[in-house]
Structure 1
C-alpha cells in the first residue's frame, strides 16, 4: 500500500493534537501554583507550633513561667508578699507549688487597666484536689477593699471530697460595667484532676458578644457561655492588684470582711498566661497539646 507524504503529515499532526488535548485535560498537582513545602520544616511540631510561646505572642500581656522565678515576666514584677510556696517540676520547666499558700502582687498592672483589658484569654495548668470544705481562688484581678475582684478564677473544691477526682467545679466570675456580676459553671463536663495530674484550664471572654467560656483540657466545658452585653459587659476596675492562690481574706492583715469561704490554695500552678484577646478554639487546643508534650 502506498502512503502519501501528505497523509503521513496529516497523521502526525493528528497525534500531536490529541497529545495536546490529553495534556490539557490532565489534572494539575498544583493548580494554584502554591510554593513547595519542605516536610522537614514541620517535624517535631504540634499543630504547626514548636512551643506554646509561639501562640499569639503579640497579645500575650502577662506571663508567669515559674521557672525559678515568681515574677510576672512581661513587666518584671515581683510579688509583694508570698506564703508557703516552692518550685517543683512543672508542665514546662518549673512550677510553683502552694501549700495553703499564695502570691500577692500589690500593684496595678498596666495590662489589666480598664482600657487595656476588654476581651481576654487566661490559660493555666494546675494540679489540684477537691477538699470538701473551702473554695480555691486560682487567681484574681483583685480590687482593694472589695471582696469580689474584677475577674475571679474560682474552683469549687468545696463541693466534693478529696477522693473525688473525676469532678472539678469551675466557677469563674467577673464584675460588670453596671456594677453587677456574671459567672459560668461546668454543669455537666468535668476534667480529671489529682495531686499529680496536670489539668489545663482556660477562660475566654469576648467583649463584642459577651461570651464567657471555660475550657478544660482542650474542651469547652462551660454551661452558661452567653453573659450578655450593655451593663453586663466585663470591666477591669482600677485600682487593681493581682493574687494567685487566694483572695484578700486569706492574706494576713488584708481581709475585707469576715467570710471564710476561701482557703489559701493547696495545689500547683504552671504556665499562667493572660492575653488581651480571645484565642481561637484551635489555638486553645494547641496550647493544651503543646503542654502535654512539655512544649
Structure 2
C-alpha cells in the first residue's frame, strides 16, 4: 500500500510540473489572434528577408549574420525583450544575400525611440538614421529610414522620413522620399496633408514602404499613415520597381559615409536612441499587416 501511495504521488508531481512548465512558456497560440495572427513572425512571413530581434546582440536571425563593426552600442529593455541602444553609434553589416535581390517592392518595420535633438537654436539640425541599405561611396543608400530634428531644440516632435535612391535600367539614379510635416506650412495647399507625430523620446512603431507597381512610398507610425500625400507618388503613378545599386549592405543607426568614416556633413550624425524588432520585407506591407505588427509587438508577441 505504501509503495502505491509513493507511485501515485510521483505521477501527480510529474503532471504538476508539466502543467507549471506549460503555463510558464510564452505560448502566444493560446491567446486570441490579433488581426488574424498569433504573433508578429506570422505577418507576411514568406516575404520576411531579414529580422533583427536585438535581444542582447546584433545578429540578423535569418542569415545568422553578425555586425562587422559596432560603435557605441549597448542593450537595454526594449518594446519586446531587449533593444539596441545607440549613443551616437551604429552597427554595420556585411552584405546579406537575401537583401541583394528584390521583387520590386520593400518594407522596413521597426520600433524606435529617438532622442537626437538640435543642441542649440542656431546649430545644425541632426538626422537620426534608423536603418539604411547602403550604396558604396554615397551618403544615402538604396533605402533609408530616418528621423530629423528639423530645427527643434526639443525632442517632442520628430520628423520621420523614408528616402530611396534606386537604379534605373540605364544605370542612372532615381530618388525621392516620403515625409510627414510637423505642422501646416504657409506654402502648403490642399494637396498636402500633415500628421504631427510626437514620438521624440518614446517608443514608436515605424514602417516605411516602397511599392514598385504604383511608384509610391509611404510612412506609418503606430499603425497610422503619417506621410504627406503630396510626396508619396514619385513616378507619376506609373510603376517603378525597386532596383538596388550593388553591393548593398545593411547599417543600423547610421548612413554609409558615417559608417565608412568619410562623412564631412554636420547634419549627418549617428543615432542617439534605441531600436528594436527591425524587420525587412520583400513586399509593400498592407495597412492591415502594419496594424497587426504594431498591435502584436506592442503586446510582446
* TM tier relative to shorter chain: 0.7 to 0.9
TM-score scaled by length of structure 2? 0.77
After the TM superposition, which parts of structure 1 deviate over 6 Å for at least 4 consecutive aligned residues?
none
How far does residue 235 in structure 1 lie from its aligned partner after superposition?
2.3
Please give the alpha-carbon distance, in whole angstroms, between the structure 2 residues aligned to 1:157 and 1:242: 23
Please say if 1:206 is aligned against 2:211: yes
How far does residue 249 in structure 1 lie from its aligned partner after superposition?
3.1
Among candidates 251, 257, 261, match of residue 255 of structure 1 = 261
What residue in structure 2 maps to residue 225 of structure 1?
232
Unpaired stretches in structure 2, ≥5 consecutive residues:
1-28, 119-124, 182-193
Q: How does 1:113-152 map to 2 (within 5 A)?
A: 113=100, 115-132=101-118, 133-152=125-144
How far does residue 91 in structure 1 lie from its aligned partner after superposition?
1.1
What residue in structure 2 maps to residue 6 of structure 1?
none
- The answer to whether the 8 Å contact 2:105/2:241 transfers is no
SS in 2 for 1:184: strand
Structure 1 residues 154 and 169: CA distance shift in structure 2, 3 A: same
- The answer to whether the 8 Å contact 2:212/2:240 transfers is no
Q: How does 1:94-109 map to 2 (within 5 A)?
A: 94-105=82-93, 107-109=94-96
What residue in structure 2 maps to residue 185 of structure 1?
179
- The answer to whether the 8 Å contact 1:139/1:243 transfers is yes
How far does residue 86 in structure 1 lie from its aligned partner after superposition?
1.0
Please give the alpha-carbon distance, in whole angstroms, between the structure 2 residues aligned to 1:90 and 1:204: 23
Unpaired stretches in structure 1, ≥5 consecutive residues:
1-40
Superposed CA offset, 1:163-191 (max 9, x none): x41x2211211113241311111121132
SS in 1 for 2:67: coil
Please give the alpha-carbon distance, in whole angstroms, between the structure 1 residues aligned to 2:263 and 2:204: 32
Count of aligned pairs between the two proteins: 248
Please say if 1:81 is aligned against 2:69: yes
SS in 1 for 2:213: coil
How far does residue 66 in structure 1 lie from its aligned partner after superposition?
0.7
What residue in structure 2 maps to residue 171 of structure 1?
161
Please say if 1:159 is aligned against 2:151: yes
RMSD of Structure 2 on Structure 1 (CA): 2.0
Superposed CA offset, 1:66-122 (max 9, x none): 1122111111100001011111111111111111110011x2221222x43520111
Please give the alpha-carbon distance, in whole angstroms, between the structure 2 residues aligned to 1:193 and 1:81: 28
How far does residue 205 in structure 1 lie from its aligned partner after superposition?
1.3
Please give the alpha-carbon distance, in whole angstroms, between the structure 2 residues aligned to 1:221 and 1:286: 17
How far does residue 230 in structure 1 lie from its aligned partner after superposition?
6.5
What residue in structure 2 maps to residue 18 of structure 1?
none
Please give the alpha-carbon distance, in whole angstroms, between the structure 1 residues aligned to 2:196 and 2:274: 19
Please give the alpha-carbon distance, in whole angstroms, between the structure 2 residues aligned to 1:173 and 1:248: 14
Q: Which range moved further: 262-271 or 171-180?
A: 171-180
Please give the alpha-carbon distance, in whole angstroms, between the structure 1 residues aligned to 2:142 and 2:254: 14
- The answer to whether the 8 Å contact 2:137/2:257 transfers is no
- The answer to whether the 8 Å contact 1:203/1:214 transfers is yes
